[in-house]
Chains A and B, each alone.
Chain A
Amino acid sequence: MKRSRSDQLLLRCGQIGIVMILLFVMLPAIVVTIASFNASSVLAFPPRGYSLKWFQNAIAYRDFQQGLWNGLIVTLWASTLATLIGTTLAIIIKRYNFQGKQFLEGLLLSPLFIPHFMVGLGLLMLVSQFNLTRGYAVVVFCHVLLVLPFVLRSVYVSLHNLDLRTELVAASLGATPLRVVTSITLPQLLPGLAGGWLFAAILSFNEFTASLFVTSQSTQTLPVAMYNYVREYADPTLAAVSVIYIVITATLMIVANRFMGLGGILNVEKK
């Protein structure tokens, strides 16, 4: 296709605009990286010296270690349970009609729009009303509620892409409905489930607002520990933690994109 002069100009402007927006998106990450190598405890640009001491500080800080450990426990439980709940629900929603189906689905999708602090507050009140302990269970349940809508969505997408005929063939060959699900539906869903699980795990590991309400000193997750740190100290230790976070997350994203095709998981790939 031949392009006129003005079209070309338009395209150039558009490209420059996109680069500017991408810079805006990356700006905090770049700045926090520079700050994390800053030698003095007072932030300044450009830094007057460079050092790795904030990284040592971050790794040695007890609350971060404990937070990381708590976060991993909660994340593993929450994302696994959410995947289990989401998969079973998605299968019966797509394959059967039953009373209260829309109500149940709507209810479990509602945490997308209910503010997170409200979910946290509700569970906190529940715990205090019934004199339960603020242990891992309530944190895990809270995270299950919050990540379930995302798991449901990704299972729907995989179910939608599934060839229904394979199930019909198995059924017509005499497989019981349960056998059809376990030996035909689930194995084909597996890649989608893995994607959904990973998505849930990342969201759960980063969840902050609701966690702030439902965690106690002994169950606080990493984001909560980090938030408490910012409120008490102003040194760049948190910049170091942020850099570790950014590096790990970006690596995971690049790997996920290479091996699983992120566009596919996120449903934005070209048809």
Chain B
Amino acid sequence: MQKKPRFFYWFLLPSTLTAFGLIVAMLAILQYSVRSYIPGSLEVGGFTFDNFISLLRPLYASAFLETVLLSLYTAIFTLIIGYPLAYAMIRARKSWCRSTILIISITPLFLGEVVRTYSWIIVLGSTGFINSLLMGVGLIERPLRLMFTQLGVVIALVHVTLPIMVLMLAAGLSHIDRSYERAAISLGAGPVRAFLTVTLPLSMPGIVAGTMTSFAWTFSAFATPQLIGGGQVNTISTLVYQLGFSSLNFPFAASLSIAGLVLTVIVLWLAKRVTNAVERLGVN
């Protein structure tokens, strides 16, 4: 190990302080989660595990399930529509095509959750764009119920996570050496076969990274399930907010969010195990 110059410690200081702040904040959650709740007060009582036991109540158990399902659906649909987009962006011959796809698919990333969610409310609402269009054409008589449903939330969430998925897939695709594909084609494989047997397996790292990030983002999404779900779709994030701000039950909000974090870690860990297994299978 080389000797460290003095500036090394000055360079280490800011990040150490930041990390310290993060640890203290997480410890604060941990600390609150094992305190009892005194209704109507921000003060907390003595040590207890009751908060974690209350997590087993049906309302919270179903919120966990709902959150996992929402994240799962969103990750899958985002992957299905994100992949062609990333593929076209990397493989398009004309450079204006590439930059058009890039700008259109990435811009929503920088619009923020509130703007995008609000826009979807206008699209999905009962007098919104989709319903007006379908009723105007005469395809339906009564407005479809899209707001306050799981379907509506998933549509908006797919839109929210699409940019990051496209970025991760494109980063993976751009690193694939195209000579493998050409070799497959020159050996007689059709374009579909070459894609399925060569390009798709090689883009696995991007797919894994994209799906996991999409999953984690959906898990922490708040504005979309809150506004489009309108109380009909309860996720961990919306419940934590309600508990923290409406009932000021900090201890329970803390234990709920810790359980949420544990769940995220477990799901991501499982996903990694599964993909590792799949990759090993592919190698053999």
Chain A residues at the B interface, C-beta cutoff of 8 Å: 7, 10, 14, 17-18, 21-22, 24-29, 31-32, 35, 42-46, 81, 84-86, 88-89, 91-92, 96-98, 104, 107-108, 110-119, 121-126, 128-129, 141, 144-145, 148, 176-178, 181, 202-203, 205-209, 212-213, 223, 226-227, 230-231, 238-239, 241-242, 245-246, 249-250, 252-254, 257, 262-263, 266-271
Contact = CB atoms under 8 A, between A and B. Distances in A.
Contact of B222 (A91, A144, A208, A246): A208
Given A121-B240, A181-B7, A271-B174, A266 B104 contact: no
A268 B222 contact: no
Contacts of B121: 230
B133 A32 contact: no
Contacts of B7: 177-178, 181
Contacts of A269: 174
Contact of B11 (A44, A89, A231): A89
Nearest to A271: B174
B174 A104 contact: no
Contacts of A223: 112-115
A267 B37 CA distance: 48
Interface residues of B, number: 94
In this complex, which of B6, B15, B129 has the most chain A Cβ atoms within 10 angstroms of its Cβ?
Answer: B15
Contact of A104 (B2, B16, B108, B112): B16
Contacts of A249: 107, 110-111
B110 A118 contact: no
Nearest to B121: A230
Interface string B205-219: 000000001001001
Contact of B101 (A18, A43, A128, A227): A18
Task: Tell me the dominant secondary structure on chain A's binding face.
Answer: helix
A268 B102 contact: yes
B99 A257 contact: yes
A206 B264 contact: no
Contact of A110 (B22, B32, B118): B22
Given A44-B132, A116-B222, A25 B108 contact: yes
A18 B87 CA distance: 10
B112 A209 contact: no
6 contacts: A18-B85, A25-B108, A27-B123, A212-B241, A262-B106, A268-B102
Contacts of B28: 122, 125-126, 129
A17 B84 contact: yes
A118 B113 contact: no
Interface stretch (B46-54, B56-64, B254-262, B275-283): B254-262
A250 B108 CA distance: 9
B84 A85 contact: no
A84 B15 CA distance: 9
Interface string B17-58: 011011111101101100000000010000000000000000
A121 B31 CA distance: 12
Contacts of A122: 25-26, 28-29
Contacts of A227: 114, 223, 227
